[in-house]
Chains A and B, each alone.
Chain A
Amino acid sequence: MTTATQSATHSALTTRAAVGLVAGREINSKVRSKSFQISTAILVVLVAAGIIIANLLSSSGDATRIAAVGDAADSLVGLESVEVETVSTVAQAEQLVLDGDVEAAVVPLIDAEPGTPAVEIIALDATPLSLVQALSIAPEVRLLQEAPVDSGLGFLIAFGFGIVFFTAAITFGSTIAQSVVEEKQTRIVEILLTAVPARALLAGKVVGNSALALGQIVLIAVAAALALMLTGQDVLLSDLGPAAVWFIVFFAVGFVLLAAMFAASASLVSRMEDTGSVLQPVMWLVMLPYFLIIFFYDNEVVVGIMSYVPFSSPVGMPTRIFLGEALWWEPYLSLMILAVSAVVIVAIGARIYENSLLRTGGRVKLGEALRG
């Protein structure tokens, strides 16, 4: 700022640099904590393992064993989940079917009519439909409407968004609240305030914890995407992709808003023990979208409203995007509403925070904190 503050040992500290320093400390102290490392690892493993296990269960059963004679084996090439056992005579093939060693046998049909497959299927007592279907020549199909998303899957995805938002917001919101109270409780805040403005301190905390929360969410998204690719569910991945990206964008903005509320609420008290009661209103705001999405997943009106209300839009809008209910401009509008609310709430939060930091002892009344 002035030349006097520039020297070999010191440089003028810009607000941005101060915010960066504070954010860096927040991130550092969290990332280095064992409990954070372990809980993140567990979360990532749970998500990935969940997807892989669910996939294994749904495609359970071994490959179907089919016996084939001579050239008939060629017709089975390229069929999925089929294990071919080649034998030399039709009689041998029949024997395998009778013994139950194979599900069915495919043998060459010498006098096949033109246009029909030149093979015959031998089975024990029931027509193996999937095999018949696989060997049939299917006509082209043209669908006039996109198939609706399977409702079970849709719920699962909505639930997923809900729980990820809920846990990340609670985890990192509590972290920011703790960090605010810790500084008040240890009184280090008095030293900090002689070095940097309260707003820089708050901004650093919000930026640092938002980065952490976003980092964890991206990590989970990557783990989920990898697990989906590993289990060959690329189709689901490409359906989920846009909704997931929107979720991350909404979360980033939505968390800044929540972080400001957590910090402002926490700054009203001076002891860790008192944080519970003072954080309750914010906790409800975080839990509400989670319960709403579980109970009203089917209700288009409720989810529609949710997708525009700032506190629930990070869950509501991505859900509607996944279900294909949202028009292209809707997420942009909702994001704008969220961003404007975030700016307003951060401004109010900063005022409360600034006015409460040095008031130690009892709980500061909200009105007093707002008036200053």
Chain B
Amino acid sequence: MLTISNVTKHYGERRVLDDVSFEVGRGRLTGFVGGNGAGKTTTMRIILGVLAADSGSIDLDGSPLTREGRRRFGYMPEERGLYPKMKVHEQLVYLARLRGMRSAVAAEKADELLERLELHERRDEPIEKLSLGNQQRAQIAAALVHEPEVLVLDEPFSGLDPMAVETVLGVLSERAARGVPVLFSSHQLDVVERLCDDIIVIADGAIRAAGTREALREANSGSQWELHVDGDAAWVRSMPDISVVEFDGGYVLFEADTRSAQSVVQQAVQRGEVHRFAPRRPTLTEIFREVVQ
């Protein structure tokens, strides 16, 4: 498990990270969500050791990270870039070797990965000759080629077409399934919502919410309920202590505390068949809007 504890960072007078703590579990895809300038990139750079924190610590499985330990991390920076004139395969091998991988193994892994990312036909072409989408795939390959023990990816899906998103997702899930902690940031909240086991929300340099996707939705579900019944549900309006948010024939979305909601259900059961009754789970976008404010 990757543990970030009480990390604080200033740029001059400006505090960009304020006592940031969270965990990235082994075998879990963890989404890191926040607006521009919220502190995602700074946090990731500190995890990678490219930037030094003013205070706080980063541990992997309980022991502090060393440079040698970080060498086995996989990193995809927000600002993309590889050597434009270097051939794809050669470049991957070079980066893997810089991280201590033996050269024969590196060559083999690079080929495997290129095949997996459907980039194999471009193996001996310089990066600058690739299409933007393919450059993105090469960038992801560069983060994965050395079989990293931890993966940190800054906006890995930006610039990818839907097909490529699926491919990359497949690869990331594979890595997570092998027990690699995977942390990635994204602006695409729907993607994060669909993929991530855990979600961390950051705003203004502070963690606003963190936990499993379900727990997060539950915690932020508030007091809205959905009811779906046979026939007309207009009677709900006349129930005490509730306010209807949305109404459409047999469907009603209303706000109420738990007790009042229970009495609505009892009434509904007496009146006829209840198809569905549940607390309404907010989407990540809604949670995000809520916690960031």
Q: Is chain B a partner of chain A in the same complex?
A: yes
- Which A residues have a C-beta under 8 Å from some C-beta of B? 1-2, 5, 8-13, 18, 21-22, 25, 29, 182-183, 185-188, 190-197, 358, 360
Contact of B102 among A5, A9, A193, A195 (CB under 8 A): A9
Task: Give the docked Cα–Cα distance between A196 and B99 (Å).
Answer: 8
Asked whether B72 lies within 8 Å of A191 as measured between CB atoms, the reply is no
Q: Which residues in A have their C-beta under 8 angstroms from that of B157?
A: none
Distance (whole angstroms) from the CB of B119 to the closest CB of chain A: 18
Asked whether A194 lies within 8 Å of B100 as measured between CB atoms, the reply is no
Asked whether B95 lies within 8 Å of A195 as measured between CB atoms, the reply is yes
Contact of B81 among A2, A18, A188, A196 (CB under 8 A): A188
Contact of A29 among B51, B81, B86, B101 (CB under 8 A): B86
Asked whether A13 lies within 8 Å of B71 as measured between CB atoms, the reply is yes
**B246 on the A face (CB < 8 A):** no
Q: Which residues in A have their C-beta under 8 angstroms from that of B100?
A: 5, 10-13
17 A-B residue pairings within 8 Å (CB atoms):
A1-B68, A5-B71, A5-B100, A9-B101, A9-B109, A10-B72, A11-B102, A13-B100, A21-B94, A25-B94, A29-B85, A183-B83, A191-B75, A191-B143, A194-B48, A194-B50, A194-B70
**B227 on the A face (CB < 8 A):** no
Asked whether B97 lies within 8 Å of A21 as measured between CB atoms, the reply is yes
Asked whether B98 lies within 8 Å of A18 as measured between CB atoms, the reply is yes
Asked whether A13 lies within 8 Å of B84 as measured between CB atoms, the reply is no
Q: Which residues in B have their C-beta under 8 angstroms from that of A2?
A: 68
Asked whether B75 lies within 8 Å of A9 as measured between CB atoms, the reply is no
Asked whether A12 lies within 8 Å of B84 as measured between CB atoms, the reply is no
Asked whether A10 lies within 8 Å of B85 as measured between CB atoms, the reply is no
Task: Give the docked Cα–Cα distance between A10 and B50 (Å).
Answer: 22
Asked whether A186 lies within 8 Å of B84 as measured between CB atoms, the reply is yes
A200's closest neighbor in chain B, by CB? B98
A4's closest neighbor in chain B, by CB? B69
Other A-B pairs beyond A10-B72, A10-B105, A183-B83, 14, CB < 8 Å: A1-B68, A9-B109, A10-B100, A10-B147, A21-B98, A29-B83, A29-B85, A182-B84, A185-B81, A187-B77, A191-B142, A194-B70, A194-B73, A196-B98
Distance (whole angstroms) from the CB of A322 to the closest CB of chain B: 41
Q: A187-B79, A191-B95, A191-B142 are in contact. Are A12 and B68 (CB under 8 A)?
A: yes
Q: Which residues in B have their C-beta under 8 angstroms from that of A360?
A: 79
Contact of A190 among B79, B84, B147 (CB under 8 A): B79
Question: How many residue pairs at the A-B interface have CB separations less than 8 Å?
Answer: 85
Q: Which residues in B have their C-beta under 8 angstroms from that of A12?
A: 68, 100
Interface bracket on B: 35 or more
The 7 closest A-B pairs by CB, nearest first: A186-B81, A187-B81, A187-B79, A13-B100, A195-B98, A190-B77, A188-B81
Asked whether A195 lies within 8 Å of B71 as measured between CB atoms, the reply is yes
Asked whether B102 lies within 8 Å of A10 as measured between CB atoms, the reply is yes
Distance (whole angstroms) from the CB of A19 to the closest CB of chain B: 11
**B10 on the A face (CB < 8 A):** no
Q: Which residues in A have their C-beta under 8 angstroms from that of B81?
A: 185-188, 190-191
Asked whether A190 lies within 8 Å of B98 as measured between CB atoms, the reply is no
Task: Give the docked Cα–Cα distance between A247 and B261 (Å).
Answer: 92
Q: Which residues in B have their C-beta under 8 angstroms from that of A182?
A: 83-84
Q: Which residues in B have their C-beta under 8 angstroms from that of A191?
A: 75-77, 81, 95, 142-143
Q: Which residues in A have their C-beta under 8 angstroms from that of B71?
A: 5, 13, 194-195
Task: Give the docked Cα–Cα distance between A191 and B69 (Å).
Answer: 15
Distance (whole angstroms) from the CB of A185 to the closest CB of chain B: 8
A6's closest neighbor in chain B, by CB? B100
**B237 on the A face (CB < 8 A):** no
Distance (whole angstroms) from the CB of B154 to the closest CB of chain A: 10
B105's closest neighbor in chain A, by CB? A9
**B195 on the A face (CB < 8 A):** no
Q: Which residues in A have their C-beta under 8 angstroms from that of B116?
A: none
